[in-house]
């Protein structure tokens, strides 16, 4: 019997539509044919129900379902007893929990949809773990008995008896304006319990926007505001869900310092972060999460920071002797440079020294050149005029002054992926791709190079407005690369993607640019992704939103070192 319980059945609520099919899953199930109720579904039901006890794992229903709504997943043997929480029948389940330690920062790393936010809710006491028994959930006494002998027992006892206060900084900061009214200064004043408002406003550069309405803030400003709101409050448990999205490198380091400053001998800090360099800087120890997104997630034991990140990248947990990903995530810079050197038939493009003034912001661009099959990464703080430079290259903005009139700005067709993606399209992803990039979307090379690795196929029949942040980002990258152009301008391709998808997206962009012999200008704040992508680097210096200059493109190493010395 133990042999049979090691699989779980997942029925997707979005995809399963018993009213529109002929219940093929039930008709083809060999266990149902023997007279047992393994799959229960009628044309009137909302969802098919699959009994995991009776299922023999033949996988016939998976192949027969016309909507691809069923997944049957074999679990590792030793996970039967470790279920922490399950939302309902045939839904996601989480195994084990991360173990926070007082006075230390715990980092969580894992792909999207694998239970990190569920784990945060459980640890914050906002979600009562049901230990997999969703029909008759246990009471707290039983839950404490279950965690007996582990560090979690003390933790939950403290939450229940001492009424520990937990605050979570939410993952999607763009939803904050819907819930919070008023201006930045007022909200921080109301929440300020530690008399830290003035200091945090300086650290997180919020003084410029202190009188602004929360609804008028940009992504990066909202993110810094959200971190400040959590940091000014008194609590024993601080949780940050992706504190670095939308922030530039300098702000990321500042935010990391603010988060570390919250540590006290008896307080807990837990951070979910996909930028591995920030995670490394922030954490004292790390728990990895592995499993199958949307089906089940497993939390590993705590590791030291270096070991934890390497385990995540390698896809192998030595303590459990378990491989959770087929290939390791590697990014060797040397490899890509060698392959780039083989293509010698470059076309060179030059642009002159030029300047542009918009309102009270002045941007000066030093003349430079770039070639095709090349990726130029633009490094600079937010508000240093990276997008302005791009629009000047694209011919959307006319520069005020141009020095060296012998160099003409060449004419380019440009494909642009903006930083903020707000979906207004009222149909499915399939319709969107068909309408915008029909030729590429039909082309087998584009499908294998871009759409397959970005896993666009799974999203095809979903409504664009219902996509999550990471799914939208992948569709946006696909749309941008699918549009025929000479220059591809990609603004923050890593926002909302998890660490694994970031490396996949980097490889997709790099391979596409090399094969198509085009040029890409990319704005990226994730250090690992920027170093992997860049052939050349343009460093921006100066005072953001006032007076900045863009240097000529330079090599990766000298550019990175210059940038770090500027932002230090």
Any idea which residue has 């009628």 for tokens?
Answer: 42
Alpha carbon separation from 155 to 12, 82, 105, 234 (Å, rounded)? 34, 18, 15, 18
Shared domain for 403 and 530, answered yes or no, is yes
Shared domain for 256 and 203, answered yes or no, is yes
Shared domain for 284 and 347, answered yes or no, is no
The residues pairing with 269 across neighbouring beta strands, listed in sequence order, are 105, 238
Would you say 184 and 206 are in contact if contact means Cβ atoms under 8 Å apart? yes
Shared domain for 229 and 358, answered yes or no, is no
Strands 7-11 and 70-74: antiparallel
Residue 331 lies in a domain: no
Shared domain for 418 and 537, answered yes or no, is yes
The candidate with the shortest Cα–Cα distance to 519, out of 404, 383, 376, is: 376
Residue 328 lies in a domain: no
Shared domain for 261 and 344, answered yes or no, is no
Shared domain for 304 and 416, answered yes or no, is no
Show the domain range for 145.
92-323
Residue 36 lies in a domain: yes
> Distance between CA atoms of 555 and 544, rounded to whole angstroms?
24
Residue 221 lies in a domain: yes
Numbers of helices and strands, H then E, in the chain: 22, 27
Residue 482 lies in a domain: yes
**Angle, vertex CA 427, rays to CA 421 and CA 428, nearest 5:** 85
Shared domain for 192 and 133, answered yes or no, is yes
Shared domain for 299 and 373, answered yes or no, is no
The residues pairing with 374 across neighbouring beta strands, listed in sequence order, are 519
**Tell me, what CATH number does 169's domain have?**
3.40.50.300
Shared domain for 293 and 348, answered yes or no, is no
Residue 541 lies in a domain: yes
**Tell me, what CATH number does 57's domain have?**
3.30.70.20
The model's pTM is: 0.80
Domain boundary among 296, 323, 350: 323
Residue 66 lies in a domain: yes
3-state secondary structure 237-289: EEEEECCCCCCCHHHHHHHHHHHHCCCCCCCEEEEECCCHHHHHHHCCEEEEE
The residues pairing with 377 across neighbouring beta strands, listed in sequence order, are 522, 537
Shared domain for 165 and 50, answered yes or no, is no
Please report, to the nearest 10 degrees, the dihedral formed by the alpha carbons of residues 212, 215, 218, 224 taken in order.
70
Domain count along the chain: 3
Shared domain for 487 and 363, answered yes or no, is yes
pLDDT in tens, the chain (568 residues): 344 447 888 898 888 999 989 999 999 999 999 999 999 998 888 899 999 888 888 889 999 999 888 988 877 766 767 889 988 888 888 999 999 988 999 999 988 888 888 899 899 888 899 988 888 899 999 999 998 988 888 888 988 887 788 898 888 787 888 888 888 888 888 888 878 888 888 888 888 888 888 877 777 888 888 999 898 888 889 999 888 888 888 888 889 999 998 888 888 999 999 888 889 999 999 999 998 888 889 999 999 999 999 999 888 888 888 888 887 877 665 555 555 555 555 677 788 888 888 877 888 888 888 888 888 998 888 778 777 787 777 777 777 877 766 666 667 778 888 877 778 888 888 888 888 888 888 888 888 888 888 888 888 888 888 887 788 899 999 999 999 888 888 888 888 888 888 888 988 898 888 888 888 999 888 888 888 888 889 988 888 777 888 888 888 888 888 888 876 6
């Amino acid at each position: 019997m133990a042999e049979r319980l090691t699989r779980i059945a997942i029925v997707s609520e979005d995809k399963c539509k018993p009213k529109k099919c002929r219940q093929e899953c039930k008709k083809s199930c060999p266990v149902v044919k023997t007279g047992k109720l393994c799959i229960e579904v009628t044309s009137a039901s909302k969802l098919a129900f699959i009994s995991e006890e009776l299922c023999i794992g033949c996988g016939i229903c998976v192949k027969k379902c016309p909507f691809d709504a069923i997944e049957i997943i074999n679990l590792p043997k030793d996970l039967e007893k470790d279920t922490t929480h399950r939302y309902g029948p045939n839904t996601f389940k989480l195994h084990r929990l991360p173990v926070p330690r007082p006075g230390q920062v715990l980092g969580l790393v894992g792909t999207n949809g694998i239970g990190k936010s569920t784990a945060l809710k459980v640890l914050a006491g906002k979600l009562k773990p049901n230990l997999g028994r969703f029909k008759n959930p246990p009471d707290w006494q039983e839950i404490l008995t279950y965690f007996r002998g582990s560090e979690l027992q003390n933790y939950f006892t403290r939450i229940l008896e001492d009424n520990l206060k937990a605050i979570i900084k939410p993952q999607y900061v763009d939803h904050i304006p819907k819930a919070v009214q008023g201006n930045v200064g007022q909200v921080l004043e109301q929440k300020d319990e530690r008399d830290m408002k003035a200091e945090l406003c300086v650290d997180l550069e919020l003084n410029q926007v202190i009188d602004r309405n929360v609804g008028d803030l940009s992504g990066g400003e909202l993110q810094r505001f959200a971190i400040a709101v959590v940091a000014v409050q008194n609590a024993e448990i601080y949780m940050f869900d992706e504190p670095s999205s939308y922030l530039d490198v300098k702000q990321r380091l500042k935010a990391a310092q603010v988060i570390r400053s919250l540590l006290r001998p008896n307080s807990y800090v837990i951070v979910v972060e996909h930028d591995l360099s920030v995670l490394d800087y922030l954490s004292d120890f790390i728990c990895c999460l592995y499993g199958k997104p949307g089906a089940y997630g497993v939390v590993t034991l705590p590791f030291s920071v270096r070991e934890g990140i390497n385990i995540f990248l390698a896809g192998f947990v030595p303590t459990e002797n378990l491989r959770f990903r087929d290939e390791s995530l590697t990014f060797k810079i040397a490899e890509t440079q060698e392959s780039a050197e083989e293509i010698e038939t470059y076309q060179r493009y030059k642009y002159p020294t030029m300047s542009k003034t918009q309102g009270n912001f002045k941007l000066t661009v030093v003349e430079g050149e770039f070639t095709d099959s090349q990726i130029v990464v633009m490094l600079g703080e937010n508000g240093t005029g990276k997008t302005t430079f791009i629009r000047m290259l694209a011919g959307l903005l006319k520069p005020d002054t141009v020095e060296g009139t012998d160099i003409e700005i060449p004419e380019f067709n440009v494909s642009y992926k903006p930083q903020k993606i707000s979906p207004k399209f009222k149909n499915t992803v399939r319709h969107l791709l068909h309408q915008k990039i029909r030729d590429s979307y039909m082309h087998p090379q584009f499908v294998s190079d871009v759409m397959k690795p970005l896993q666009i196929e799974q999203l095809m029949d979903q409504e664009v407005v219902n996509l999550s942040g990471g799914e939208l980002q992948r569709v946006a990258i696909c749309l941008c690369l699918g549009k025929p152009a000479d220059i591809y301008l990609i603004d923050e391709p890593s926002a909302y993607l998890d660490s694994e998808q970031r490396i996949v997206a980097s490889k997709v962009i790099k391979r596409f640019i090399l094969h198509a012999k085009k040029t890409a200008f990319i704005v990226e704040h994730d250090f690992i992704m920027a170093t992997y992508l860049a052939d050349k680097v343009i460093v921006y210096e100066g005072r953001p939103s006032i007076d900045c200059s863009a240097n000529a493109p330079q090599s990766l190493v000298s550019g990175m070192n210059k940038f770090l010395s500027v932002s230090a």
